Amino acid sequence: MSNVQSDPLLQVETTCGSLLYELQIIWDEVGESDTDRDKMLLELEQECLEVYRRKVDQANRCRAQLRQAIADAEAELAAICSAMGERPVHIRQSDQNAGSLKEELKAIIPQLEEMNKRRNERRNQFFEVVEEIEKIKSEIYSSTEYIASKTVVDETDLSLRKLEELHKQLQALQKEKSDRLKQVLDHLSTLNSLCLVLGMDFQQTVNEVHPSLGDSDGRKNISNATIEQLAAAIQTLRGVKIQRMQRLQDLASSMLELWNLMDTPIEEQQLFQNVTCNIAASEHEINEPNTLSVDFINYVEAEVSRLEELKASKMKELVLKKRSELEEICRKTHMIPEADSALEYVIEAMESGIMFVPYRTLILLVSL
């Protein structure tokens, strides 16, 4: 009895036998013929076979699904390991030591979950590096050279070797970005110095190149176009500086000549000492703010013009005085004065408004 209870198949056979015996009793009471009985027994047998067949088919499908699930898991595991550049972590056991399919699948699932977790972590590392690379590229290259796109990670190669390559690429781009930023800052410093000397608006100058350059705290544009435009602006302002410097030095030379000619007091000369001290200076030696501004050069020009007018006035006074002295001498000595070509030239020049008089003529007048 204990064997029957412990074996489900024996229990089924016992139950079927009891039911068949009960069916025989019923048929005897009813009076079923042997033919009908055989027919009904055949039907019972066919129905039992159908039930068994369905169960077998169901079991086959379940086994096929388990095998497919194991194969899929192993394939996914192999693909993940291959993408990460690692050896497969699961190898199918030999048939002799193999457990059930459910046990095998149960053993693979945790490994697959662990590898999926590691792949996601590795993919996030790739994403961070690639995103930073794309970000720096967008800063370095202008819109005509680089078209920014959504960050995409090639999940077929998530190996440490590939990650190291991306890190090296990122480091190279970071260095290039740093070098470009230093170049931009150097250009801005040079432009600022030039603008100070020339009395120009630095903010307006750099904003014409790129609006980001005028923001002291914001991120500056470091594209090729911006660097080239900064270099061009520097060259332009240096040309302006040289022109104004030459103009100021010419004015300083004229000023010194006029001072020497008219014995200008030292106190008055000291007011323009910052002009005359740069008479022989090179471009790089002139760095004081507004030294070459338009207003300052106009101021110096006005002073030179004033000195020129003062010189002309004194010359006219001197010429008229000498002429008067000559006429007085001739009158006292009852002499007829001879025509003095130099004196007449100066008088004609004065009357015609010509400011320039040869230096030899001035010496002659002074010696009279």
Whether 276 contacts 252, CB under 8 Å: yes
Q: For the chain (length 368 residues), average pLDDT per consecutive 10? A: 52 74 88 88 90 94 94 91 81 57 90 92 94 89 55 86 94 94 94 94 90 80 91 95 93 90 84 83 88 92 89 80 77 65 58 50 49
Q: For residue range 132-172, what is the model confidence (pLDDT) as tens digits?
A: 998 898 888 864 444 545 678 888 889 999 999 999 999 99
For the record, the structure tokens of 16 come out as: 């079927």
**What is the number of residues in the chain?**
368
Instruction: Provide the CA 218 distance to its chain's centre, in angstroms.
Output: 12
DSSP state, 216? S
In the chain, where are the structural domains located? Answer: 18-128, 311-368
Whether 319 contacts 350, CB under 8 Å: yes
Whether 225 contacts 180, CB under 8 Å: no
Whether 281 contacts 287, CB under 8 Å: no
Whole-number pLDDT of residue 350: 56
Whole-number pLDDT of residue 270: 85
Whole-number pLDDT of residue 149: 58
Whether 138 contacts 222, CB under 8 Å: no
Whole-number pLDDT of residue 269: 82
